[in-house]
Amino acid sequence: MLRKTLFAFTLVTSALACADEVKVAVAANFTAPMQKIAADFEKDTGHKVQLAFGSTGKLYAQISNGAPFEILLAADDTTPAKLEKEGTGVAGSRFTYAIGKLVLWSSQPGFIDDKGDVLNKGNFKHVAIANPKLAPYGAAAIQTLTALKLLDAIQPKFVQGENIAQTHQFVATGNAELGFIALSQVMKDGKIADGSAWIVPTSLHQPILQDAILLDKGKGKTAAEALMKYLRSDPAAAVIMSFGYAL
């Protein structure tokens, strides 16, 4: 018994001795799933994870200006590709960790129908949208309204969030009756938690491919490389899909 106890203690202390920390820049739409994934990763590996959330555009600017991030989880595939081309991202490390889904959401039950016809009726004063220059979900919303030939009619009602988290807040607090956000922000246990929503058909906008990339500051770092691998594991995939993403 003593020998087994000493062996277990050795394993724990060895794991702690090898524990590392990784700093991750995360697109705002992936906040909830990444918090869950990070907690599971820490429990499974002993490594620590520091998360910073924001719009992909702002995170890119911070990384380009020397922010100490070691991994970027973007809300698009173009920003990681750009970082790889510029040499800030590690060549060959980029992969799509999730495919996002856009949803038109209201905190009011019954306000939005399941076909999005509320957009044609126009019985609302404000519609929230993330800055399309910084947030891919905002760009997808513009593409959707353009495809529906409703952009000119609805654009004067825009309330623009700096990122998708602020956009969700506008709708949740009632400052906008409805808004285009990420499905993951209102999905819980595979269902939309509250309010009313229309999941936007993917045919109305370009695919929201969300790519991860190992940054040069994370190259050779134990925790950073372990997290990149963990993001492609079955446990991480289960969390990602539970928030409404496709893989």
- Please check whether residues 110 and 230 belong to one and the same domain: no
For 179, the domain range is: 102-199
Structural domain contains residue 153: yes
Beta pairing class for 127-130 and 158-161:
parallel
Q: d(Cα 64, Cα 132) in Å, to the nearest integer?
A: 20
Q: d(Cα 140, Cα 104) in Å, to the nearest integer?
A: 11
Structural domain contains residue 247: no
- Please check whether residues 95 and 106 belong to one and the same domain: no
- Please check whether residues 40 and 22 belong to one and the same domain: yes
Residue 152's domain is classified under what CATH number?
A: 3.40.190.10
Q: What confidence tens digit (pLDDT) does each residue in 132-179 have?
A: 998 999 999 999 999 999 999 999 999 999 989 999 999 999 999 999
- Please check whether residues 92 and 159 belong to one and the same domain: no
Domain count for the chain, please give it: 2
Reduced to 3 DSSP states, what percent helix, strand and coil does the chain have, rounded to the nearest 5?
Answer: 45, 25, 30
Show Cβ contacts of residue 98 under 8 Å, excluding neighbours closer than 6 positions.
30, 33, 210, 240, 245, 246, 247
- Please check whether residues 106 and 95 belong to one and the same domain: no
Q: d(Cα 222, Cα 213) in Å, to the nearest integer?
A: 15
3-class state of residue 154 by DSSP? helix
Q: What confidence tens digit (pLDDT) does each residue in 21-38 have?
A: 999 999 999 999 999 999
Q: Which of 145, 118, 135 is nearest to 182 (CA)?
A: 135
